[in-house]
Structure 1
């Protein structure tokens, strides 16, 4: 069953397109977690719709209004929106009350130099941005801690999934087997062909993980022309498992941003000139 369920709203032309993690949210009513689509925003072409990215050339006022639409639909104050710079690395930053709201209206105000955020502060809404890369979600119910990680191919082979679990363990005393994880809408191996350095780096990671042949094939399928189809979602799942997160506690989406450009933005399929979706996670104050 698909983990990320599209919210059915009365007027999808005016309301932001949201894909929710209902199983998590029903288990803890304070929790909100999900992913935005491209519908229900005010951005003009070529970012048409709910573009969440301030860094893609869109009108800043339109992007901020789109972000406000999302937080309003979630029942959160816009002041809670907190985001990072995203540099395609594997560094994890801890968000305290002092960082709440960083980056919500300006790129130069984001939490710099990292691609993952974690917090145990209620009332902080962690967010990050995508147009094919893989959103990773982490939730530790016992500790009241949440995290998000942005995993492109560089972040994936850099082990950002494992680094985030390790950082949560260090900061909040959470064992990996206590973490719930989710892998959200992103480009699938059906639409993601790679070669050269990417293939070499993925091979290195699979060797380090000691994946058997069948699981290696599920992560990357080689072609006769030297290229390969890469399943970044599955590779991140294997990294999570190696880090100690239980397979039964990992939700894995079936949505492909490349196949469904009616619902999502896709950098690769749309030739680079497109908007960005957002992942989000946060715990309301009691």
Structure 2
């Protein structure tokens, strides 16, 4: 059964799945590692009401806590994890990456936009409504990372910072890592002002600028966060053939995915989930 998502191209990068009435998205490339369970939520399949309808597990959107708990239960059952193992970030557009140990199971990390762990069963959870989810799986050392990267996180190379933390703590070799850039706002939908572009010009090579943005007649720019994060991964040592770049835009799919550009603060959050088996 198709969810009716609009894709930017016909590549089979993402697979739609519905389990017990809960739709979510998966990356076959991550599944093929054989070491993780993962998913990316839609706004469907839950019990939340109003502007959070229906699948929202974020506690920062003004949602009914009872609905959030029921949604967590449904989502955990669909993906194959336990609600009590879900471990969360409270994101503030930093490049702070937490190391999640056994005693952190179920915790919320404040002022944190990324997490890494080697503990089986702990389910890392991060939140989105246009920003970029970054999934990282090291099938050799059995280590995972999950990070949130908006334009600020991207300029500050959140993907590289997360990889460096995996290497520092667990010995991960970036050449072994399989990475996915998750559903987020596409270049066609992401208009930014010149001050944002100036930040990218300072931090990215000039030869990459044409891939990253173009200027419009109104003086604004269209920015490609998908390509920017792919460049960051490759420069950090992840092999191009090990990177799955999304072809699903949050803003292009307002009936299925939450988007800040579409509805502002009147929305729930999408969730990325990643756990070692």
- TM interval, short-chain normalised: over 0.9
Question: Where do 5+ consecutive residues of structure 2 fail to align?
Answer: 1-10
| Counterpart residue number, 1:4 | 14
| Counterpart residue number, 1:145 | 143
Q: State the 1:64 CA deviation.
A: 1.8
Q: State the 1:63 CA deviation.
A: 1.4
TM-score (norm 1): 0.90
Quick check: which one's strand share is greater?
Answer: 2
Question: Where do 5+ consecutive residues of structure 1 fail to align?
Answer: 103-109
CA contact (8 A) 2:38 2:273 kept: yes
Q: State the 1:195 CA deviation.
A: 0.2
Q: Whole-Å Cα distance in 1 between the matches of residues 206 and 125 of structure 2?
A: 32
CA contact (8 A) 1:117 1:148 kept: yes
Say if 2:34 is the partner of 1:19. Answer: no
Aligned-residue CA RMSD (Å): 1.3
Q: Whole-Å Cα distance in 1 between the matches of residues 165 and 38 of structure 2?
A: 20
CA contact (8 A) 1:4 1:184 kept: no
After TM superposition, the runs of 4+ consecutive aligned structure 1 residues lying more than 6 A away are none
TM-score (norm 2): 0.93
| Counterpart residue number, 2:53 | 48
CA contact (8 A) 1:4 1:34 kept: no
From 164, 174, 178, the equivalent of 2:162 is: 164
Q: State the 1:3 CA deviation.
A: 2.1
| Counterpart residue number, 1:64 | 69
| Counterpart residue number, 1:97 | 102
From 85, 88, 93, the equivalent of 1:80 is: 85
Say if 2:275 is the partner of 1:277. Answer: no
From 108, 112, 115, the equivalent of 1:114 is: 112
From 37, 42, 54, the equivalent of 1:32 is: 37
Q: State the 1:211 CA deviation.
A: 4.6
Deviation track 1:16-48 (CA, whole Å, cap 9, x = no partner) reads 2210123322440x4112200011111111111
Say if 2:171 is the partner of 1:155. Answer: no
| Counterpart residue number, 1:128 | 126
CA contact (8 A) 2:39 2:79 kept: no
| Counterpart residue number, 1:254 | 247
Deviation track 1:71-118 (CA, whole Å, cap 9, x = no partner) reads 01112111110011111010111000010111xxxxxxx112210000
